[in-house]
Chains A and B, each alone.
Chain A
């Protein structure tokens, strides 16, 4: 019975791997529900925030907030890269980081320098290997993203932008479409774009006319717009992290389900080989015994 012990060991090892992937699948499934609820709950808020900032961008405001002023020449951009902290979630991070790499090359070709902010371990590692200039990072965010963890890193870029050292701020993240599908997205968040893409993928423009009107401000335009823009930025980044989190758990659940299914397939194949070799051994022994008896 040559090799049967090896086959048995192999089966055992695959079985224990399946146990692990199965457990991870179930953990991800339970986390996924909460992450999706959180993400869905804050989507309407962000859509309204986007609408308002686009209205503000259309208005002929008495105080031009720096976020509203587009700069002629772009020399240096900031990029916020949102990835997961842990792996084993399919192609999720690879897909986002591919778009990062693409843009990085594109910017380099145009002579634009880039400052990166990494949110999530995977992105941080990638950017460091890529040789990107990482100015701030937020990692180990846990299952429930907290805004106060994100404010610091994002503020570093914004301060640079207001100081005039950065001319644009871009974001890279994964948006959640459904449990089976997550899409990498990229876009500019500062200066305020003229249109933005909703979670469902449609492009939305401001629904009002250009520049011949202004708001009545109570009490003060400067304070209000500063406050609103801060809220816009924090909200946008927070929503991206939420989307990424929901995508992560969904992608992990799907990846682990596939892994468990594959493990099951391998086990049954190995079982078949094992049974065949055992049967062959028995047949061989029998024929030897019969042959021996006949010889006597």
Chain B
């Protein structure tokens, strides 16, 4: 069996993500957490931002937005109790397309952006920013 960790992201409204992952990045209150399988038990709060889940195999990463919540890590399991989590796909489509376009631009232009990792990081950042904008607009409107 591949070396994976089970990831559950749930909010009061719904189960947002459930599945295996090779690697998970979460926005902890004390900084970004990168979790690999067989991590030591950890309990923390997370702040608003994007959770990046890398499923096993050659598939694109999954992004989930959380507005804070609790995070429990057991060696074979990551559980995120999100206050409100939104799947990246649910975001305003135009904004997501825009973000994707920008990220793809950066990915094709590898030299300028400094490799795929940087491009992916930029994609995550762009998405998180969009989320912030959306929240802001929500509050203003």
Q: How many residues of A contact B (CB 8 A)?
A: 27
Tell yes or no: B81 within 8 A of A by CB.
yes
Contact check, A48 vs B43: say whether CB atoms are below 8 A apart.
no
- Say whether, besides A55-B72, A219-B29, A231-B81, A41 and B44 are in contact (CB < 8 Å): no
Contact mask for chain A residues 11-55; partner B; CB cutoff 8 A; 1 contact, 0 none? 000000000000000000000000000000110110011011001
- A215: which of B10, B11, B41, B81 is its contact (CB, 8 Å)? B41
A175-231 contacts to B (CB < 8 Å): 208, 213-219, 221, 224-225, 227-228, 231
Please name all residues of chain A whose beta carbon is closer than 8 Å to the beta carbon of B18 when the two chains form the complex: 44
Please name all residues of chain B whose beta carbon is closer than 8 Å to the beta carbon of A51 when the two chains form the complex: 79
Contact mask for chain A residues 49-88; partner B; CB cutoff 8 A; 1 contact, 0 none? 1011001100100000000000000000000000000000
**B-side interface size class:** 20 to 34
Contact check, B42 vs A218: say whether CB atoms are below 8 A apart.
yes
Contact mask for chain B residues 24-51; partner A; CB cutoff 8 A; 1 contact, 0 none? 0000111000000000111111000000
- Say whether, besides A44-B10, A45-B11, A218-B29, A227 and B70 are in contact (CB < 8 Å): yes
Please name all residues of chain A whose beta carbon is closer than 8 Å to the beta carbon of B105 when the two chains form the complex: none
- A48: which of B29, B40, B81 is its contact (CB, 8 Å)? B81
A84 to B99, CA, bound (A): 48
Please name all residues of chain B whose beta carbon is closer than 8 Å to the beta carbon of A48 when the two chains form the complex: 8, 10, 79, 81
A interface residues with partner B (beta carbon < 8 Å): 41-42, 44-45, 48-49, 51-52, 55-56, 59, 208, 213-219, 221, 224-225, 227-228, 231, 235, 238
List the 4 shortest-distance A-B pairs measured between CB atoms, nearest first: A218-B44, A44-B15, A215-B43, A45-B10
B interface residues with partner A (beta carbon < 8 Å): 8, 10-15, 18, 28-30, 40-45, 70, 72, 74, 79, 81
